[in-house]
């Protein structure tokens, strides 16, 4: 089985370098590594690490929002053209645990779960010390996000709630990817496109499976809760999701925006609308 790691990149070069150092510590190295550089021409000149076989896919940005859904499809397309059997999507901020690659690969060989979207627990890390994170001791920092299942390393738990899917760390066989058909490229920027993909997967008969061995560690970076820096993207994508599925995604964020007076609607049948100029695209 040829396992290909796919990572989308726009900036975050230090995080990407750390991810590659962590990959090199894997109990099973990936067979291929596809980086999708979204409007980031520096990636091809500096990455991937020469000890990791791989390639860079250049994807220019059109408009103001990063094409995350389109980039995932482009990464998958390149990986499949290079012979991938298992597509392993890993967010640029995520450090793979030692057994992440091996854990996903083993799960993909298990007939009971191979046709599902394979998801791994993710720990959100505190800021690193002056020397950065100790990549040889990531397991000591293990504290998976409580909003998602976190099986023990020797467990795999099937799950059919598509709203629990996240794109930080997941794997899908080539056959299942083809059956689902990829991400909807009508989504641009941050938010909603991964929940939409899980709904498409459910329509295609592919639920989720949480793989305890496939642990990842999300490197710290400053953010806001709710993520007002992505307000315009989230409002646009929430309206698109509601038009496609009849329900609202990202409910906690939308509620947070309403409480801050930044949006109206986004519940029932009322569309989301911005009320503050900070939400307008630049």
pLDDT, tens digit, 9 for 90 and up, residues 129-144: 898 999 999 999 999 9
Question: Three-state SS string across 114-146, please?
Answer: CCCEEECCEEECCCCCCCCCCHHHHHHHCCECC
Q: What is the pLDDT of residue 282?
A: 31
The residue ranking higher by pLDDT, 281 or 192, is 192
- Domains annotated on the chain, with CATH: 3-218 (3.90.550.10), 228-279 (no CATH)
pLDDT of 26 reads 98
Select the more confidently predicted residue: 119 or 223: 119
For residue 127, pLDDT over 80 is answered with yes
Higher pLDDT, 23 or 62: 23
Residue-wise pLDDT tens digits, 42-54 = 999 888 899 999 9
Does the pTM of the predicted model rise above 0.85? yes
Measured CA to CA, the distance from residue 65 to residue 152 in angstroms comes to: 37
Using left for φ > 0, alpha for ψ between -120 and 50, and beta otherwise, residue 39 falls in left
User: Residue 277 — pLDDT band, cuts 50, 70, 90?
Assistant: low
pLDDT at 279: 42
Note the pLDDT of residue 222: 87
What pLDDT is recorded for position 281?
Answer: 39
């Amino acid at each position: 089985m040829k396992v290909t790691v796919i990572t989308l990149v726009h900036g975050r070069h230090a995080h990407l370098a750390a991810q590659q150092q962590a990959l090199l510590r894997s109990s099973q190295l990936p067979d291929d590594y596809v980086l999708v550089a979204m409007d980031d021409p520096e990636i091809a000149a500096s990455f991937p690490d020469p000890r990791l076989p791989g390639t860079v896919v250049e994807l220019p940005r059109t408009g103001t929002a990063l094409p995350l859904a389109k980039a995932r499809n482009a990464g998958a397309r390149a990986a499949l053209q290079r012979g991938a059997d298992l597509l392993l999507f890993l967010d640029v901020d995520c450090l793979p645990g030692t057994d992440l690659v091996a854990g996903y690969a083993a799960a993909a060989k298990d007939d009971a779960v191979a046709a599902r979207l394979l998801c791994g627990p993710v720990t959100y890390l505190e800021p690193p010390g002056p020397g950065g994170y100790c990549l040889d001791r990531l397991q000591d920092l293990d504290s998976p996000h409580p909003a998602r299942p976190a099986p023990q390393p020797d467990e795999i738990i099937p799950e059919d709630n598509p709203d629990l899917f996240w794109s930080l760390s997941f794997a899908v066989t080539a056959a299942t990817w083809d059956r689902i058909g990829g991400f909807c490229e009508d989504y641009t920027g941050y938010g909603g496109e991964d929940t939409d993909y899980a709904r498409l997967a459910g329509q295609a008969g592919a639920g989720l499976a949480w793989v305890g061995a496939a642990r990842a560690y999300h490197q710290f970076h400053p953010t806001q809760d709710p993520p007002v820096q992505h307000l315009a993207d989230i409002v646009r994508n929430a309206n698109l999701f509601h038009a496609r599925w009849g329900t609202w995604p990202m409910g906690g964020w939308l509620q947070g925006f309403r409480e801050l007076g930044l949006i109206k609607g986004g519940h029932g049948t009322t569309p989301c609308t911005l009320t503050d100029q900070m939400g307008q695209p630049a």
